[in-house]
Amino acid sequence: MKTGNQSVETDFILSGLFQYGLVDTFLFVAIVILYAVALMGNIILILLIQLDTRLHTPMYFLLSQLSFMDIMNISTTVPKMTTNFLSNSKTITFLGCVIQAFLFMVLGGTEALLLGFMSYDRYVAICYPLHYPILMSKKICWFMVTCAWMSGSIIALGHTLYIFHLPFCRSWVINHFFCELPSLLQLVCQDTSTYEYTVLLSGLIILLLPFMTILASCARVLFVVFQMSSGKGQTRAVSTCSSHLIVASLFYVTGLSTYTTPHSLHSPEQDKAVAVFYTIITPLLNPFIYSLRNKEVMGALRRLLA
């Protein structure tokens, strides 16, 4: 990488989430266990959806995509973090940092859009059940997933190419447990105020718009359902919307707090704590929130175990 008249190629140093005290060791063990549980939960959910033909519907197809993204998302950050802790090393190569930052942005952006599409699926299923087979055909489902992946990849590629062509002349120590865009901006020695507006705009488009769509669709679903006389339908709609809102709120609110906050107001410790939610907690909770409260998934699990 060239910075001014200098040609520099070196490793970054990640300050990490842990130090090497007793409390941090327990925290490390807890995160490794959470990682294993998240992997197991998402893999089991994907297998159930693939093996049980009753779950071959648009909703579960999108849910299997979400589980796949969660597996990739948590595997982008936690393995490197645990390796550094066990090896007593905090370095990450320049190329490794580029790849990690790119993959994390791709997966984060794609998941943000996919959650919005999932809310649309529930909206159509409840508000327009007769048109559901047409509005949520297999072709349209694949189109949604493709759009999410392509949009997330294009935005991530643009940000990755730009940020890693800036001069890092303040320090090579990243005050974070992985290579994340806001943390990298703190190492740049030139004015990035204009670029920060681009980051803010990207955050609003990728995070805020889908979140507003989810809130609006859930409000519309509840309005339609509570006009019906069926108490069972009302209970199921409330359960569906509440599950989706729990996942969405945890993911979008923490993401917005990181990517729409001005550079000058970022606190490294706060950024680490918030990042734990959308890198570890959300991938852990998703399969359980969508399965434990879902009779069809639990039925599929019982049939598989039987």
Each residue's pLDDT tens digit in the chain (306 positions)? 444 433 345 789 998 886 666 667 888 889 999 999 999 999 999 999 998 888 899 999 999 999 999 999 999 999 998 888 888 788 899 999 999 999 999 999 999 999 999 999 989 988 888 999 999 999 999 999 999 999 999 999 999 999 999 888 767 889 899 999 999 988 888 888 889 899 999 999 999 999 999 999 888 888 887 777 566 667 777 777 777 788 888 899 999 999 988 877 778 888 888 999 999 999 999 888 877 667 788 888 888 777
Torsion of CA 215, 275, 78, 2, to 10 degrees: 120
- Least Cα distance to 257 among 200, 212, 180, 175 occurs for 200
The distance of Cα 45 from the centroid of its chain, to the nearest Å, equals 17
Model pLDDT, residue 202? 92
**Cα gap 305→302, rounded to integer Å:** 5
Phi then psi for 89, rounded to 5 degrees? -125, 145
User: What DSSP state is assigned to residue 43?
Assistant: H
Model pLDDT, residue 23? 63
Q: pLDDT for 270-288, tens place per residue?
A: 888 899 999 999 999 988 8
- Pairing type for strands 12-14 and 91-92 reads antiparallel
- Least Cα distance to 176 among 16, 18, 19, 31 occurs for 16
Task: State pTM to two decimals.
Answer: 0.89
11-32 core/surface letters (b: 16 or more CB in 10 A; e: else): ebbbebbbeeeeeeeeebeebb
Token pair belonging to 198: 């681009």
- Pairing type for strands 12-14 and 173-174 reads parallel
Model pLDDT, residue 5? 34
DSSP line for 3-22: ETTEE----EEE--S--SSH
Other Cβ atoms less than 10 A from the Cβ of 234: the count is: 15
Token pair belonging to 278: 């959308």
